[in-house]
Structure 1
Amino acid sequence: MRKWRSLVAVGATLPVVAFAAACGSDNGNGDAAGEDTGGSLRGNLTGAGATFPNPVFQEWAAEYGSVEPGVRINYQSIGSGGGIEQFIRGTVDFGSSERYLSDEDLDEAATTRGCEGVQFPVIFGSVVIAFNDPALDGMVLTSDAIAKIYDRQITNFNDPELQELNPDMDLPDQPIIPVHRSDGSGTTYVFSHYLSTENDEWADKYGEGTEIQWASGTVGGQGNEGVAAQVQQNRGALGYVNQAYAIETGMATAHVVNEDGEAIAPTLEATTAASELADIPDTFQFDIDNIGGDGYPITGTNWIFVYECGYDDNTAEMLKSFWNWVLTDDAADELALELGYAPMGDSLKERVQAQVERINSQN
């Protein structure tokens, strides 16, 4: 695995991560100095947004460098809220988020750019509940228990409600420190949407969104990296993070009870099972709700945002080339699977490719 792993450990102090598809220094033309660039494209792409897919985005960009070494990709892992804002403002070539663009977002984007925005999913992944204590790995939680922990109704691991859910575990007499995202976050959207769907009290008090007014007694972390670091550094900490960060940092994770009453581990298979239950309209505005069977119930999607106009021809070709490579090359799927993300099925990929072809179509 490449450089992102070392960045996870220091994510609290490095919330923005940039990466390039080509190695070496830029000679000013988008080429890496001293290398046989090959390929047919030359130039730079800039993107910004979700931290959720940052690990796989880095891997994709590095692998794509063997196809188009003259293309450099710089992605700023600043959170979904920032990705939506920068996309609408037109300061990046593409945005990324775990929250799809609402009709209001799309209207604002069209007004700003003078043409329609285009959004499409590229990957699925789980939001996991991670613990500081390895002995808690596999602890069972329900949506109600998670909501009460973040609402500070449950403040200790040996709370009777948690002990009832885990009769075979010797839960510690340890105060719980709930950790949340402090930035505008699609991971927060997925997490809070899940709780709002499953828990009426949470829906009334906190609702859903990329930012939430958290209860006092909770701790914030910048990005998935920052939450992971807070959980690792604080005894009794519990936080919600992208599955990839939990895997790579070796954190213990909870099994979450789904709609059918099954306590499901956040495995790749369980994420895939959940994603296959999603009803995906032509607008690609969807959530993954009420998951039963073998599906993990807190499963989210990453969207990419681009425009139908406003790019120069070279930038448009680079965008199409990169995202079509992601959708069609087996290496892209293999990297996603290795990191704990669930690639899309072939039929959905075909629908998404039609969206990619809309890039700059109105120029």
Structure 2
Amino acid sequence: MKCSPLVRTAIFVLALTLAGGSTAIAGRLRITGSGASFPFPIYSTWFKIYTRAHKGVLIDYQSKGSGAGIRDFINHTVDFAASDAAMNDSEIARVKEGVQLLPMIAGEIVLSYNLEGVPELRLPREVYPAIFLGKITRWNDPAIVKANPGVTMPDLPITV
């Protein structure tokens, strides 16, 4: 499997960042991590590519959830953690050696709805963050009504 220069660079930077707290086992550098399941497929691919090219390195990642990964990192049981959201200030403060936050991947979300009497719904791009921020809370909000001319939007709460 070929690996793009960008992926190789990302893996190299990650490995260098993590190597500071890792252990050596039988002449191999062992780097351990845990956390979010979302990045696990791409991490597995990256780590496989990297360890094939660098026989003296073993990277072990346990996919067990963002919260568990952060706890493991704070408790010094892993060298790195992955999380769907960044560590908050109080979590960072618990790591006396400091924390380096590196955005590694991004993902998409898909919104689905079940709104009786509305078979097709249009939501403008600016409506999505407003819903998640609690600024738009009802289906008959003017921004949604404007995007759906001729459709009677019910006065019902949006459940997120």
Structure 1 residues 29 and 94, CA, compared in 2 at 3 Å: closer, same or farther?
same
Q: Partners of 2:131 and 2:70 in 1: how far apart?
A: 23
Structure 1 equivalent of residue 133 of structure 2 = 197
Structure 2 equivalent of residue 95 of structure 1 = 81
Q: Partners of 1:46 and 1:128 in 2: how far apart?
A: 32
- 1:118 paired to 2:100: yes
Greater C-alpha radius of gyration? 2
> Shift of residue 104 of structure 1?
1.5
Runs (5+) with no aligned partner, structure 2: 2-24, 123-128, 139-146, 148-160
Deviations 1:60-80 (A, max 9, x none): 011102321121111010111
* TM superposition score normalised by structure 1: 0.27
Structure 1 residues 29 and 194, CA, compared in 2 at 3 Å: closer, same or farther?
farther
Aligned pairs for 1:34-113 within 5 A:
42-110=28-96
SS in 1 for 2:105: strand
Runs (5+) with no aligned partner, structure 1: 2-27, 31-41, 130-140, 167-192, 203-260, 262-363
Structure 2 equivalent of residue 127 of structure 1 = 109
Moved over 3 A (4+): 198-202
CA contact (8 A) 2:32 2:61 kept: yes
Deviations 1:186-217 (A, max 9, x none): xxxxxxx8853265449xxxxxxxxxxxxxxx
SS in 2 for 1:55: helix
* TM superposition score normalised by structure 2: 0.58
Q: Partners of 2:62 and 2:130 in 1: how far apart?
A: 26
Higher RCO (Cα < 8 Å, 6 or more apart) = 1
- 1:164 paired to 2:120: yes
> Shift of residue 92 of structure 1?
0.5
CA contact (8 A) 2:36 2:63 kept: yes
Q: Partners of 1:124 and 1:88 in 2: how far apart?
A: 24
SS in 2 for 1:106: helix
Corresponding residue to 1:29 among 26, 29, 33: 26
Aligned residues: 110
Q: Partners of 2:46 and 2:101 in 1: how far apart?
A: 19
SS in 1 for 2:49: helix
